[in-house]
């Protein structure tokens, strides 16, 4: 109970207040704008996976509230998440290997894959089948052909 101005009121939980505000004050255009922002979100060049995951999850929670998500919304979120990843190779590999059904599964897969990549890079070993370029095997470029005008001058 909260007392103020001689009125005794029950404390209302934040979740209930938020649900009331969203239902009564968030219009359809705002919800569509949040979904558009989710589709346009991209991981920046120097942004960590953890930071991108946090940003994406926060916006996804606003665009598609957690208790009301359906399979189509999960599919849209996974697609937007994959498109926003900095590395298209990771997005393709995630889709081919795991084909996650939910955003949480996609984020978990990317975290696991990134951790494996970090572990491999810490070993300092070359990947099998990838050989460093042998610089001495490339012949020097041929001199440019001489034109008759250049021969007359020299």
Tokens matching residue 100: 């996650």
CB burial string 98-107: b at 16+ within 10 A, e below: bebeebeebb
Average pLDDT over residues 144-149: 70
Cα dihedral across residues 43, 59, 71, 116: positive or negative: positive
Q: What is the CB neighbour count within 10 angstroms for residue 83? A: 13
The pLDDT value given to residue 13: 86
Q: Which residue has the tokens 């990134």?
A: 114
Q: How big is the chain, counted in residues?
A: 154
Q: pLDDT of 41-58, one tens digit each?
A: 999 999 999 999 999 999
Question: pTM value?
Answer: 0.64
Q: pLDDT of 51-80, one tens digit each?
A: 999 999 999 999 998 888 899 999 999 999
Residue whose C-alpha is closest to residue 77's, from 34, 119, 111, 114: 34
Q: pLDDT of 116-135, one tens digit each?
A: 888 888 888 766 655 555 55
Considering only the C-alpha atoms of the chain, give the largest distance between any 2 of them, rounded to a whole number of Å.
108
**Percent of the chain having pLDDT more than 90?**
46
Residue whose C-alpha is closest to residue 83's, from 52, 118, 51, 50: 52
The pLDDT value given to residue 139: 66
């Amino acid at each position: 109970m909260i007392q103020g101005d001689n009125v005794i009121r029950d404390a209302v939980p934040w979740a209930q207040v938020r649900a009331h505000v969203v239902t009564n004050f968030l219009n359809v255009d705002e919800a569509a704008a949040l979904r558009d922002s989710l589709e346009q979100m991209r991981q920046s060049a120097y942004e960590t996976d953890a930071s991108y995951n946090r940003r994406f999850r926060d916006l996804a929670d606003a665009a598609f509230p957690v208790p009301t998500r359906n399979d189509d919304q999960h599919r849209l979120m996974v697609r937007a998440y994959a498109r926003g990843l900095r590395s298209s190779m990771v997005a393709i590999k995630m889709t081919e290997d795991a084909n996650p059904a939910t955003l949480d599964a996609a984020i978990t897969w990317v975290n696991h894959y990134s951790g494996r990549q970090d572990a491999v890079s810490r070993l300092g070993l070359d990947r099998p089948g990838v050989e460093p370029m042998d610089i001495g095997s490339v012949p020097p470029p041929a001199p440019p052909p001489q034109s008759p005008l250049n021969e007359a001058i020299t």
